[in-house]
Amino acid sequence: MLPEVEAWLDRRTSRARDWDAGVLAGDKRDQRVTVVLPARDESATVGRIVTSIRTALCEDVPLVDEIVVIDSRSTDGTARVAAEAGATVYHQDAVRPDLAGGEGKGEALWKSLFVATGDILVFVDADLLSFTPDYVTGLLGPLVTDPGVAYVKACYDRPLKGSPGEAFNGGRVTELVARPLLNQYWPSLAGFVQPLSGEYAGRADVLRRMPFVSHYGVELGLLVDLLEAEGLDALAQVDLGVREHTNQSTPDLGVMAAQIQHTARTRLVRSGRLVEGDPAATTLVQYARGDTADGAYVPYPRETAISERPPADSLVEPALV
């Protein structure tokens, strides 16, 4: 491990219990805080998370000023559930409709930059099964108290359903793809225990200067780009204990893995560390047994291409007509 990473781990790692919501509510002064939940078909979990944030961190303690849910083309009533729980809900395609064409989680997060009013934005996945308000309090701690911190990632144990005791059985793409890639090409980021964690927070003005990769490339893209733009010491992590969420299937994580590999490749090419000859293929052929009598395998081509939205600040707001 690089000496700078060892020093960073010591200096820039804290724990949720180090931070008190009431104290931070006072310390934040006139800074507004928005919690953003990107949600695609999360009606089973989004309501409890929004209610938990609203009651504990808006009503009981005035730490959070706004809860935004970006409805990411849900078909299960997510928007209604989130609104009934007290969130302000925006459909991702209804935000800046003049900017059509983005896809996936990264698009939902990028669109939140055009509607969230916070000076500090906290991103929380809407499929969490273990959410508690100190997830938000912990992520806010370093940002509210240290102007030198621009971005904070959660870290936690990630047990996988069916293997509750194993802290790192979950985060399969992290362990099999992202962590190896980061250690090979961005060893300064080796101190992040959960580089793909879906809970993180940042200063809105900094995030508005960053490009957002589409789909599931957004977390790796932001981490690598923020390292370059802001430097390692502007980044921090907070130990939130344990995180459980609705896990995707392994084939679906294969698509996620390919999107993350594409994201890493674009950054390596952009920085001149990799010369791209023929462009990488973006079709991932997966397999399943067909329903024919002989049960032969059937190929399932999956699209893994990523795209990238420019920094929000680089776009001129549409003229008011």
Ligand X SMILES: O=C(O)[C@@H](COP(=O)(O)O)O[C@H]1O[C@H](CO)[C@@H](O)[C@H](O)[C@H]1O
Ligand Y SMILES: O=c1ccn([C@@H]2O[C@H](COP(=O)(O)OP(=O)(O)O)[C@@H](O)[C@H]2O)c(=O)[nH]1
Distance in angstroms (rounded) separating the CA atoms of residues 6 and 277: 36
Residue closer to ligand X (CB basis): 24 or 260: 260
Beta-carbon-side half-sphere exposure of residue 79 (alpha carbons within 13 Å) = 11
Three-state DSSP at 155 gives strand
Among the listed residues 54, 96, 111, 172, the single contact to ligand X using CB under 6 A: 172
When CB distances to ligand X are compared, the closest residue is 198
Applying CB under 6 A, what is the total number of residues that bind ligand X? Answer: 18
Residue closer to ligand X (CB basis): 47 or 198: 198
User: CB of residue 243 vs ligand X: minimum separation in angstroms?
Assistant: 8
250: exposed, middle or buried (Cβ count in 10 Å: 0-12, 13-18, 19+)? exposed
Q: How far is CA 170 from CA 83, 106, 113, 187, in A?
A: 30, 21, 29, 22
Residue closer to ligand Y (CB basis): 144 or 170: 170
Within residues 231-270, the interface with ligand X by CB under 6 A covers 245, 247-248, 253, 256
Residue closer to ligand Y (CB basis): 104 or 221: 104
320: exposed, middle or buried (Cβ count in 10 Å: 0-12, 13-18, 19+)? exposed
**Which residues 6+ apart lie within 8 Å of 146 measured at CB?**
236
13 touches ligand X (CB under 6 A): no
Distance in angstroms (rounded) separating the CA atoms of residues 82 and 51: 9
CA angle at 103 for the pair 190 and 195, rounded to the nearest 5° = 10
170 touches ligand X (CB under 6 A): yes
Is 207 in contact with 113 (CB distance < 8 Å)? Answer: yes
Residue closer to ligand Y (CB basis): 126 or 190: 126
User: CB of residue 157 vs ligand Y: minimum separation in angstroms?
Assistant: 15
Residue closer to ligand X (CB basis): 141 or 198: 198
57 touches ligand X (CB under 6 A): no
108 binds, among ligand Y, ligand X, none (CB under 5 to 8 A by kind): ligand Y
**Which residues 6+ apart lie within 8 Å of 27 measured at CB?**
144, 145
Place of tokens 């047990």: 159
202 touches ligand X (CB under 6 A): no
Among the listed residues 118, 198, 202, 221, the single contact to ligand X using CB under 6 A: 198
105 touches ligand X (CB under 6 A): yes
57 binds, among ligand Y, ligand X, none (CB under 5 to 8 A by kind): none
| Chain contacts with ligand X (rule: CB under 6 A) | 105, 125, 158, 160, 170-174, 196, 198, 216, 219, 245, 247-248, 253, 256
